[in-house]
């Protein structure tokens, strides 16, 4: 049940709205200013049309477009004027929202970043994409970890960006830090449609956590975003999904209280707990060692695949980017 896509809200329900926004075309600083105003307008439109929506989620590249420009005048900062327009919109509309922007990085390439703004206009979560989509994306890898914040009705929320969701470790980290909802914003085209749905469901089920995911969408052009918004229950079953309609709003109710209940009471398939308590039927409290070599090697700084030397693509030169300058 999801209240007919959130039309009927239950006492403990949180209504999430996923907007399959058409990406802006950004070439100048004036374009960027107009893009911020456009997003603010959508905040007001959505809240006016669906007053019970608690969180509006905009896709990856919603503010800066997908130009991959590196010039400083086309980047944003968390406390800058463009984000300020978005924060004001949330405060005036009395709604939470998730926004994507390219963040100025004085020490290197920009970060691909996201923020979660509350209904008072405060930035409650700031995330930098951990896994830029290589070799195509030039963004610096994120350095803020995966923050989790308290959202509407005491819900616990994490935000990840696009390619991050292809790594089960990212979703596991969200849940390990308490997230009951993982928001995933993306710019994928239809070539990744199957994997998009697959990971949205796996990330939810393996961690007893809702996932709410949305791509940008363009009705024209061969490489426009695919839309395909999807909300998945903590049992891995999709409860709402969109199409490839440009600027379509997909809404659903999630129940964080039921996530808490499942995490507390489930025996079979409580995998987020059982990972660290292996075989608790045979061993008191379960084994809590780390039998996974890749985890041990990653922490020790010696992560290396058996076929490491055979990997052909190790930088972005094949996608037209210069060799990396940072070590």
5-9, 37-41, 43-47, 251-255: segment of lowest average pLDDT: 5-9
As to burial, measured by CB atoms within 10 angstroms (0-12 exposed, 13-18 middle, 19+ buried), residue 67 is middle
Domain 3-266: state its class: alpha beta
Residue 1 has pLDDT above 70, yes or no: no
Query: Is 129 among the residues known to form the active site?
Result: yes
Check residue 161 and give its pLDDT. Answer: 98
Tokens of 191: 């070539």
Give the mean model confidence (pLDDT) for residues 304-309: 97
Count of other CB atoms within 10 angstroms of residue 25: 10
Tell me the CB-side half-sphere exposure of residue 324, using CA atoms within 13 A: 16
Residue 189 has pLDDT above 90, yes or no: no
Give the mean model confidence (pLDDT) for residues 230-239: 98
Query: Is 23 among the residues known to form the active site?
Result: no
Question: For residue range 146-175, what is the model confidence (pLDDT) as tens digits?
Answer: 999 999 999 999 999 999 999 999 999 999
Check residue 22 and give its pLDDT. Answer: 92
Residue 210 pairs in a beta bridge with 181
| 111 and 103 Cβ atoms separated by less than 8 Å | yes
Residue 223 has pLDDT above 80, yes or no: no
| 94 and 68 Cβ atoms separated by less than 8 Å | no
- The secondary structure element, H or E, covering residue 47 is helix 29-49
Distances from the Cα of 72 to the Cα of 29, 107, 187, 236, angstroms: 10, 12, 22, 41
User: Average pLDDT of the chain?
Assistant: 95
Sheet holding 14-19, edge to edge: 123-128, 111-117, 96-103, 55-57, 14-19, 249-254
- Dist. CA 215–CA 200, nearest whole Å: 12
Residues 6+ apart with CB under 8 A from 79: none
Residue from 23, 47, 68, 129 carrying the catalytic annotation:
129
Give the mean model confidence (pLDDT) for residues 225-242: 95
The radius of gyration of the chain from alpha carbons, rounded to an integer in Å, stands at: 20
Residue from 90, 149, 162, 174 carrying the catalytic annotation:
162
Residue from 60, 103, 137, 253 carrying the catalytic annotation:
60
Residue 63 has pLDDT above 70, yes or no: yes
Phi, psi of 112 (to 5 degrees): -90, 105
- Dist. CA 141–CA 155, nearest whole Å: 28
Give the mean model confidence (pLDDT) for residues 94-118: 97
Query: pLDDT band at 107, cuts 50/70/90?
Result: confident
Q: What's this model's pTM, rounded to 2 decimal places?
A: 0.96
Concatenated DSSP letters for 244-305? Answer: S-TT-EEEEEE-HHHHHHHHHH--TT-HHHHTTSBTTTTSTT-B-S---HHHHHHHHT----
Query: Is 308 among the residues known to form the active site?
Result: no
| 229 and 187 Cβ atoms separated by less than 8 Å | no
Question: For residue range 251-296, what is the model confidence (pLDDT) as tens digits?
Answer: 999 999 999 999 999 999 999 999 999 999 999 999 999 999 999 9
- Dist. CA 75–CA 64, nearest whole Å: 8
């Amino acid at each position: 049940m999801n209240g007919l896509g959130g039309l009927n809200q239950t006492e403990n329900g949180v209504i999430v709205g996923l907007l399959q926004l058409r990406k802006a075309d950004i070439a100048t600083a004036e374009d960027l200013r107009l893009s911020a105003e456009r997003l603010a307008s959508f905040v007001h439109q959505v809240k006016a049309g669906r007053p019970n929506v608690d969180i509006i989620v905009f896709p990856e590249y919603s503010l800066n477009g997908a130009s991959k420009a590196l010039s400083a005048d086309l980047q944003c900062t968390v406390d800058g004027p463009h984000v300020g327009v978005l924060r004001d919109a949330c405060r005036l509309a009395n709604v939470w929202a998730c926004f994507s922007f390219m963040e100025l990085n004085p020490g290197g390439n920009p970060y691909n970043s996201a923020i979660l703004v509350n209904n008072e206009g405060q930035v409650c979560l700031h995330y930098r994409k951990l896994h830029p989509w290589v070799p195509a994306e030039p963004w610096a890898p994120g350095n803020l970890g995966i923050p989790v914040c308290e959202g509407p009705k005491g819900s616990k929320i994490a935000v990840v960006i696009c390619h991050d969701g292809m790594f089960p470790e990212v979703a596991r980290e969200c849940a390990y830090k308490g997230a009951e909802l993982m928001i995933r914003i993306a710019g994928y085209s239809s070539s990744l449609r199957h994997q998009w749905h697959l990971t949205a469901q796996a990330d939810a089920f393996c961690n007893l956590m809702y996932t709410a995911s949305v791509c940008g969408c363009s009705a024209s052009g061969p490489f426009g975003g695919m839309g395909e918004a999807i909300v998945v229950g903590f049992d891995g079953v999709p409860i709402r999904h969109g199409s490839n309609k440009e600027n379509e709003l997909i809404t659903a109710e999630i129940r964080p209280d039921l996530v808490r209940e499942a995490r507390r009471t489930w025996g079979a398939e409580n995998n987020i707990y059982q990972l660290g308590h292996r075989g608790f039927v045979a061993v008191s409290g379960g084994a809590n060692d780390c039998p996974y070599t890749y985890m041990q090697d990653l922490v020790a700084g010696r992560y290396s695949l058996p076929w490491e030397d055979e990997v052909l693509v190790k930088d972005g030169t094949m996608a037209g980017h210069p060799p990396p300058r940072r070590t």
